[in-house]
């Protein structure tokens, strides 16, 4: 009897703590979004979708090495920074294809912004499944 009474009394405390944790999480996310708007992201000199798709289409190894290395690091940094394992079961070739498809549709877009949009779409897709 004592255990069930203790559990009943503890339940509101647990919900209160969960609510407090959720509120704290929202505050941290809001603050990180504001901070992210002010954080400078180092990008390759050829920071355009057109440069990325052209490098792939022409098999320009020098540009491909730089751009592919940068995008792979960018995606990994987003996953690490957000603490969301959205790259699980996605290989580099799949990331390259997703980014290529996105950039092919929007050649004037900055590569860094395109990579961010691709990361967001992968995260949204994984959260919906």
Q: State the Cα–Cα distance between residues 1 and 86, nearest whole angstrom.
A: 45
pLDDT tier at 44, thresholds 50, 70, 90: low
Tokens at 31, concatenated: 């603050």
User: Structure pTM?
Assistant: 0.66
Residues 84-127: pLDDT tens digits? 999 999 999 999 999 999 999 999 999 999 999 999 999 999 88
Task: Identify the CA nearest to 62 among candidates 48, 49, 51.
Answer: 51
Long-range contacts of 97-100 (CB under 8 A, 24+ apart): 98/122, 99/52, 99/71, 100/52, 100/53, 100/56
């Amino acid at each position: 009897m004592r255990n069930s009474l203790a559990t009943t009394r503890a339940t509101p405390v647990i919900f209160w703590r969960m609510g407090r944790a959720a509120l704290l999480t929202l505050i941290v996310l809001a603050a990180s979004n504001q901070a992210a708007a002010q954080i400078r992201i180092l990008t390759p000199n050829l920071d355009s979708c057109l440069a990325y798709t052209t490098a792939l289409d022409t098999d320009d190894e020098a540009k491909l090495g730089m751009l592919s290395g940068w995008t792979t690091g960018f995606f990994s940094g987003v996953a690490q920074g957000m603490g969301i394992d959205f790259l699980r079961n996605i290989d580099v070739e799949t990331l390259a294809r997703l980014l290529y498809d996105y950039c092919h549709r929007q050649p004037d877009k900055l590569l860094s912004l395109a990579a961010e949009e691709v990361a967001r779409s992968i995260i949204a897709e994984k959260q919906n499944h």
